[in-house]
Structure 1
Amino acid sequence: MTLSQNPPVETAPAPAGAASVDFGRRLLRIETTHLGALIPVRAVLVSALLVVVIIAVGVFSLTIGAYRLDITSVLRAVVDPASDPHVRQVVFEWRLPRVLFAVLCGAALALAGGIFQSLTRNPLGSPDIIGFGIGAEFGVTVTMIVFALNTYAFKAAGALVGGLLTALVVFLLASKNTMSSFRLIIVGIGVSAGLGALTSWILISVSVEKAMMAATWGAGSLASLGFDQLLPASAVFVVVALAALPLNRTLPVLEMGDDAATALGIRPARLRLQAMVLGVALVALVTAAAGPISFIALAAPQITQRLVRSHTPMGTVPLALTGAALVVVSDAVGQLLAVPVGVVTLSVGGLYLAWLLAAQYARRA
């Protein structure tokens, strides 16, 4: 939405696809009979580069495993249906679902991180920090260990219920006349610590076999996932992502403050509830399938902001592609090091969090 005090000036329409300059940013104008849009050229270039990274690293990931393959064999299996059937089985049935799941998980976590960072107006307002990810993890742990329900549907339900209940508790405890992002983050950290303690208590109270199963899932891994989990997860992601598209326009308005948002026809309370539910749903989608993959939701929006030079962590295509690239690269590194992807993201994300906290402190000092 653009606000201007000057009267509109009639200009000749630019041809479709023509590039224009708006406040120093080159924009790509797209005009059709039913659609008109201005897309930053930098966002298009960044998205194209991220797609190249995802494809390149994804193809490389298809070569990693106990059954070693070279790039040529993988590419031949992809483009030639008459190639070695054993290689095609390894590529399409065993390894391709893992790469596609990495793309899906990264995109979902990045979008969730953008929603919560825009909602809290703070780069630390990530579901990893304010407890919603821990809540989803706790819900899955209870579903797996206490109720002995280990299918994807039950784990997804447990993650969603756990995340939503945690979000409700955090928002209720942090609400005091007005919503403070600092208070929300502090309360979220405290709730996360409590849920982490409850999770540990559950794990030490059950048999070693159940505890090991939950601990393996809790490391965050894409190794055992196939098309049986990918197809329903993709369907849920598409539905939630489409429902979250309007937030790309409304949440940046809410960042200006409740009074400004209300004056522009937005109901802040309803928008916060909608954004919270959709963000938790995206986190639950990933947590149920792959376990907790930490810090992608924290890092992806900030990296995207710097890549496209945006003033808000919200975004759609560049943000989702940034998260997808981070998880695809992390999973490839994890396979080379023989560790789960969650260990890689936790190690790198911890360093990123330390840098982010130092940068926040330096700006306030």
Structure 2
Amino acid sequence: MLQRRPRSISSRTVVLSVLFGALAIVVALISLSVGTTKLPVADVVEVLLGGGRRGTRLVVLELRLPRVATGLLVGIAFAVSGALLQTLSRNALASPDIVGVNSGASAGAVAVIVLAGTGGGNISGLAAEVGIPLAAVLGGLLATLIVGALSIQRGVVDAGRVVLIGVGVAAAANSLVAWLLVIGDVNDAGRAAAWLAGSLNARAWSDAAPVLLAVLLLVPVAMMFNRDLSALVLGDDVASSLGVRVARIRLALLVIATVLAAMATAGAGPIAFVALVAPQVAQRLTRMERPPLLTTAMLGALFVVLADLLARNGLQWLQVGPYELPVGVVTAAAGAPYLLHLIGRQQKGR
């Protein structure tokens, strides 16, 4: 009996990746131009190329660009993380939002925000020195370790149990977060609560830098495993017969997915549903057997930067008021119906 071999990247996948990347850049330019101070897109482009007037450079480079750049990077990190988890578990619902990675990362980050405070005023020592990115990574890795350990059945991680156990771990981590908010200082708890909504408001280059580092280091590494990921979709036995070291590759890619999700969470909070929706939409548009990483990354960047544009200006455009929503509210409003759709498809598939 002939075994199916993983397919290489199709021209359709390349075209869609370029299209989504271009759309993300266009939306980013629009986002840089609109706001309290409206700027022509041509002036924004001039500033980005090194020119422009001093006032325009201040608005674009210091006030808006860090926010937009963080949104693009966070979208890429969340989307690639979701694509990896869905491929490894062969489950469309396995995203860091649902299987506890984001919740674990949030618990670690909120612990630093609430216990250490802005200057380590509440406690001193190690907790005051550990940064939010590192705490988020440790929290995400711990949640992943717990989910993986509890999902093992007969020596193998049961993909069907990952989502159910992940939901339980996420609930436990969210309970820890709620307890930290109760015992924390009012100001620190308020800061943490705003961050938990998933917001790009007042992002600085210091928020974007850790996510940029994770994306530059880990996304190319993940893409080096494209053929192995395609083989894993065919099943562990088939992948092993094709020369894939299943256990090692699963572990490596699981760590990459966890760190990407944790760093994205540290940069902008647990923005909901990006990691769930982007991989599934990319997979359906490219007609592949798994979410393609490059297309998913570009779609994730587009999703977040477009959601942030609507969160920042949508209510004003509708003349409801000059209010700004957290970007997580917009992504949740878009992603929740899609989650219900996926659950319905899985129920019908049974």
- 1:113·1:126 contact (CA, 8 Å) conserved in 2? yes
Deviations 1:135-162 (A, max 9, x none): 1111111122123367997111111111
Are the equivalent residues in 2 in contact too, given 1:152–1:229 (CA < 8 A)? no
| Distance in 2 between residues matched to 1:304 and 1:201, nearest whole Å | 38
CA contact (8 A) 2:133 2:210 kept: no
Cα deviation for residue 119 of structure 1 reads: 0.6
2:133 is matched by which residue type in structure 1? A
Is 1:226 aligned to 2:196, yes or no? no
Aligned to 1:335: 312
CA contact (8 A) 1:152 1:288 kept: no
Partner of 1:281: 259
Residue 316 of structure 1: how far off its partner (Å): 2.9
Which amino acid is the alignment partner of residue 44 of structure 2? V
Q: Deviations over 1:227-257 (max 9, x none)?
A: 2332343123211122222332212212222
Structure 2 equivalent of residue 131 of structure 1: 100
CA change 1:4–1:334 in 2 (3 A) is: closer
Tell me, yes or no, if structure 1 residue 347 matches structure 2 residue 333: yes
Give, in whole Å, the separation in 1 of the partners of 2:270 and 2:131.
Answer: 16
User: Structure 1 length as normaliser, TM-score?
Assistant: 0.84
Counterpart check, 1:311 vs 2:281 = no
CA contact (8 A) 1:101 1:222 kept: yes
Change (3 A) 1:206 1:305: same
Would you say 1:90 and 2:59 are equivalent positions? yes
Q: Distance in 1 between matches of 2:249 and 2:49?
A: 46
The CA deviation at 1:318 is 1.2
* Partner residue in 2 for 1:196: 174
Q: 1:203 to 1:74 in 2, by over 3 A?
A: same
Structure 2 CA distance for aligned equivalents of residues 55 and 130 of structure 1: 31
Match of 2:79 in 1: 110
Q: What is the CA–CA distance in structure 2 between the aligned matches of 1:322 and 1:273, rounded to whole Å?
A: 26
Q: Which amino acid aligns with 1:144?
A: I
Residues 93-150 of structure 1 show CA distances to partners (whole Å, capped at 9, x for unaligned) of: 2112221211111111111011000011010011111111111111111122123367
Give the distance between the partners of 2:43 and 2:36, measured in 1 at CA. 15
Distance change >3 Å, CA 183–CA 80, structure 1 → 2: closer
Relative contact order, higher structure (CA 8 A, sep 6+): 2
Cα displacement string for residues 3-29 of structure 1 (whole angstroms, at most 9, x for unaligned residues): 689xxxxxxxxxxxxxxxxx9xxxxxx
Q: 2:145 aligns with which of 168, 171, 174?
A: 168
- The one-letter code matched in structure 2 to 1:102 is G
- Deviations, residues 243-286 of structure 1 (Å, cap 9, x unaligned): 22233221221222222222222232222211111100101111
What is the 5 A alignment of 1:225-244?
A: 225-244=203-222
Where do 1:19-30 residues align within 5 Å?
Answer: none
| Alignment: residue pair count | 330
Report the structure number with the largest CA radius of gyration.
1
Q: Could you tell me how far 1:360 is from its partner in structure 2?
A: 1.6
Q: Give the letter aligned to residue 146 of structure 1.
A: L
Question: Structure 1: where are the runs of 5+ without partners?
Answer: 6-22, 24-37
State the shift of 1:39 in Å: 4.4
Output one character per residue of 1:273-316: Cα deviation in whole Å (capped at 9) or x when no partner: 11111100101111111111111110111111112111112x23
> What secondary structure does 1:62 align onto?
helix
Identity of aligned residues (%): 36
1:362 is displaced (CA, Å) by 2.0
Distance of 1:194 and 1:280 partners within structure 2: 18
SS in 1 for 2:288: coil
1:89 is displaced (CA, Å) by 1.4
On the 8 A contact 1:125/1:181 being kept in 2, the answer is no
The residue aligned with 2:16 is 46
Please identify which structure carries the higher strand content. 1
* Distance in structure 2 (CA, Å) of the matches to 1:41 and 1:302: 19
Tell which deviates more after alignment, 140-149 or 332-341: 140-149
CA distance in 2, matches of 1:123, 1:286: 21
Larger helix proportion, structure 1 or 2? 2
CA contact (8 A) 2:21 2:299 kept: no
**In structure 2, distance between residues paired with 1:299 and 1:218:** 20
> Is contact 1:64–1:335 with CA below 8 Å preserved after alignment?
no
| SS of alignment partner, residue 93 of structure 1 | helix
Paired AA for residue 38 in structure 2 = R
